[in-house]
Structure 1
Amino acid sequence: MKKIGVLLSAVLLLSLYTTAYASDLTKAVQGVWTAKVADAPYGYQDYQVTIKQVEGKCVADITGSQLNVKNQELKEVDGKLTITVYAGENVQVVIWKEKKEVKGTADTSMGKLPIEFTRKQESKQ
């Protein structure tokens, strides 16, 4: 019986840690970003990405010359945020935090293309 109690305690602590980690990850990536996919075809290279919390979910607005997505939910998988968008084909975008930088890849028919994220500075008026 003690083994079951220890096991349940371990599972509970792990789930609390995972929830806290997800919260830290989504907090770290929230904001307005410019995203550049240098190896993508012309017209699919530059985007503005806004990541925010809506009704307790992490969502993204993505705009570019060939793409306009609003309130698309980001899902956490293995400590990374994923989203699938249609940009001429289904593209799975993966975003993660590495040290103090936010990085990403776009998984396309051309392979995995790196995404460079730069946080936009808020204008002070």
Structure 2
Amino acid sequence: MSDDSSTPPSQQDPQQEGWAAAVSGFVTARLDLIKLEARDASEVAAKRGVLLAVILGCAFFVWLLGVAGIVGWISDSQSWPWYAVTLAAAGLHLLVAIIAVVLLKKPAPPSFPLTRAELSKDQAWLETLKKDPTSPN
């Protein structure tokens, strides 16, 4: 059995430096992966934000066209009943809003899939180290 105190400190430094470099590389790789996936997640969030803006805009136009229909100027120019023109325009905008809601309710792709997979692998690796600390892996 060897005594750790007999080992000169100069021989321990390269090993500690190797571990520090490995840990630094590991953390850097994980942070780069998170950065890439955060960019993808932000694109998905931006698309969902645009769809939400479409929904709100369509709801506004449903209200606006409902008020415009009360005035009745459309009915005068087309010789149609004012309520028919108003309901048709409001119905069209309502249809667009429903389509946007359906698109918004579609499930988004999971966020950070690569990071989650790598962290699962890391966790499994750490579990094997806990079970057999003398293993070189």
* TM-score normalised over the length of structure 2: 0.29
Greater relative contact order, per chain length (Cα 8 Å cut-off, separation 6+)? 2
1 or 2, which has the higher strand percentage? 1
Task: Choose 1 or 2 for highest CA Rg.
Answer: 2
By percentage of residues, which structure has more helix? Answer: 2
